[in-house]
Amino acid sequence: MCGRFSFAVIAEMIEEHFHIRVDTNTYKPSYNCAPTQKLAVISNQNPDELSFYRWGLIPFWAKDKSFGNKLINAKAETIDQKPSFKNSFKQKRCLVLSDGFYEWQKISSKEKIPYRIIMKNGSPFAMAGIWDSWKDESGETIDSFAIITTEPNELMKNIHTRMPVIFKPGEERIWIEEHNPEILKSLLKPIESDFLTAYCVSKLINSPANDSPEVFIRAGN
């Protein structure tokens, strides 16, 4: 699964890389993005601007918003089949913006080592996402999302059994503009290991309360 990531990129770089508008009054860097937080996405509903959706997909038919707490990820292999995801896959897709994600390598039943995985060139990137809108009894609307995961590439096999779908720049707009399900499904594959690098970080990352540049520091430094 993908349960934690970062997006701590300056607004100018976001605008240049993703070709969108960024409101600096609402955007702030996040070093330790966690479920239930409102985080930066580009949706097919508003493809030219940065939006902020709650992490943890709440399907429109859910009885309670807590339903989304367990839907932070969606498997690429079954996304067009599962009731919680198939409608969003067809109609409501988004790019989840990131500059790195975290995963924990299981060493033993008692020990896990946290890793940060980033692009080798240091650039921001987009992870595949789906979203939905849910309305409570008072009429409040919550837009929420899930990150799509796939099988690990050669780099990630040594760390975890899953990884987020990461798009190359040319694939990002296809994901939010295309309608052909076969073309969309073809994008949901692991990015080649050559694009990524990974390093150990301190266990500060274990707590979402630690939202500062210190969580980026290599373990032992």
Distance (Å, rounded) from C-alpha 211 to C-alpha 115?
A: 16
For residues 220 and 113, is the Cβ–Cβ distance under 8 A? Answer: no
Q: Is residue 80 part of a domain?
A: yes
| pLDDT confidence of residue 139 | 83
In 3-state terms the chain splits into helix, strand, coil percentages (rounded to 5) of 25, 35, 40
Q: Is residue 200 part of a domain?
A: no
Exactly one of 33, 94, 103, 172 is catalytic; name it.
103
Structure tokens belonging to residue 108: 């033993």
* List of residues 6+ apart from 208 with CB closer than 8 A: 4, 32, 34, 37
Q: What is the CATH number of the domain that holds 81?
A: 3.90.1680.10
- pTM higher than 0.85 for the full model? yes
Over range 80-99, report the average pLDDT.
96
Q: Is residue 201 part of a domain?
A: no
Q: Is residue 111 part of a domain?
A: no
Q: Is residue 135 part of a domain?
A: yes
- Strand 5-7, strand 100-106: pairing: antiparallel
Active site residue 2: yes
Active site residue 177: no
Count of all residues that appear for the chain in the document: 221
**What average pLDDT is seen over the chain?**
95
Q: Distances from the Cα of 58 to the Cαs of 25, 68, 97, 135, in angstroms?
A: 27, 4, 19, 10
Structure tokens belonging to residue 212: 């500062």
136 pLDDT more than 90: no
Q: Is residue 79 part of a domain?
A: yes
Q: Is residue 184 part of a domain?
A: yes
Distance (Å, rounded) from C-alpha 100 to C-alpha 122?
A: 9
User: The domain containing residue 84 runs over which residues?
Assistant: 5-101+124-192
Element (H, E) at 93: strand 93-98
Exactly one of 2, 33, 94, 172 is catalytic; name it.
2
Q: In total, how many domains does the chain have?
A: 1
First to last CA, the chain: 27
* List of residues 6+ apart from 151 with CB closer than 8 A: 161, 162, 163, 190
| pLDDT confidence of residue 213 | 96
Q: Is residue 139 part of a domain?
A: yes
Q: Distances from the Cα of 167 to the Cαs of 28, 75, 171, 178, 186, in angstroms?
A: 23, 16, 6, 14, 12
Distance (Å, rounded) from C-alpha 38 to C-alpha 144?
A: 8
Q: pLDDT band for position 183 (50/70/90)?
A: very high
